[in-house]
Structure formats: C-alpha cells, structure tokens
Amino acid sequence: MLSDQQVKEQSKNAYRQQYVKWRKNAKIHSKYKMKSFEAFENIGIGKACVVVANGASFEQNIETLKKHQHEVDIFCCDKTLGHLIDNGIKPDYCLVCDASVSYEKYLKPWIKEVHDVHLMINVCGNPEWTEEAKWKSNNFFVNMDCMQYEKNSLAYLGAKI
C-alpha cells in the first residue's frame, strides 16, 4: 500500500505530465453549463445501481446483467461502453475520467447508440466525447485530490469556489 506521501508524489507527477492537456480540455468544456451536485440528488431512489468495468466478473455475468438491465441503473466506465452495447446491454451512465481516453477506439463505433445514455465526464476528460456524440446529457465533475486540484480547475473554469 502506498503512503500518503507516495500518493501525493504520484499526483504531482501526473499534474506535471498532463496539466497542459487538462487545462486545454477544461477550457473546451467551459462552454457547457455546469450543474451542481445537488442536481443529482434523489436520482434513482429505490433502484439499485450496477457499476460495470471490464474484467472476469463482467464476462461471467453478461447474461445476468442483460436479463436484469431494466431493473437497475447501469453505470459503466468509458472502456466498457462498447462491450455492453455489443452484448445488448444499454448503460444509463458512462463515466469518462481520462484526458486521453480514445474516442476512436471506445466511442466512435457506438456513437449512434448513446442518445439515451448520460455522460459523466471529468472537466479535463477527452473533449471528443462531449463534442462528437449526442448524449442524453453531459455532466461534468472535478476530481478532489491531495493537491486540491479542484480549486485550480474550478477557478480556471470561472466557477466560484
């Protein structure tokens, strides 16, 4: 397990390597209306949420998920979106955290299938995901980390902190 100091050092290294791209992506996303966290309160009350990522447990439970998909909200990571759609499973939400996640590989082949899916994307996430697709809604978030990068991001976007 990493110590707090090691985690902080990793965060600093990631920032040094990616901050130009993060700021560029955040600037592109600044044209969108940002919703407060309160806009999501009480969504899905009384309904279970299944979080799906690629891996053995997903592969082993595709048929179960397909059978029960209308009884739960399905929240998938970006790289799982196409795999779900290819298996006849429509996610309710798709999460994008990475500034560099490939649009060409993980979204473009399924771009016509996301009109009923809510996109949840980091303000620094790859803007091709917001610019090229017609999602049910675009929803942005800012990571809170040990470097308090969220204060920097929100100020850069012109938001009050």
Q: What is the pLDDT of residues 80-89, one digit of tens each?
A: 999 999 999 9
Predicted TM-score (pTM) of the model is: 0.84
Q: What pLDDT does 135 receive?
A: 96
Q: Is residue 82 included in any domain, yes or no?
A: yes
- pLDDT tens digit sequence for 88-137: 999 999 999 888 999 999 999 999 999 999 999 988 899 999 999 999 99
- Residue-range definition of the domain harbouring residue 137: 20-156
Q: Is residue 99 included in any domain, yes or no?
A: yes
- pLDDT tens digit sequence for 6-59: 877 887 787 788 888 888 998 898 888 878 778 888 888 888 999 999 988 888
Q: Is the pLDDT of residue 160 over 80?
A: no
- Number of structural domains the chain divides into: 1
Q: Is residue 73 included in any domain, yes or no?
A: yes
SS (H, E, C) the chain: CCCHHHHHHHHHHHHHHHHHHHHHHHHHHCCCCCCCHHHHCCCCCCCEEEEECCCHHHHHCHHHHHHHCCCEEEEEEHHHHHHHHHCCCCCCEEEECCCCCCHHHHCHHHHHHCCCCEEEEECCCCCHHHHCCCCCEEEEECCCCCCCHHHHHHHHCCCCC
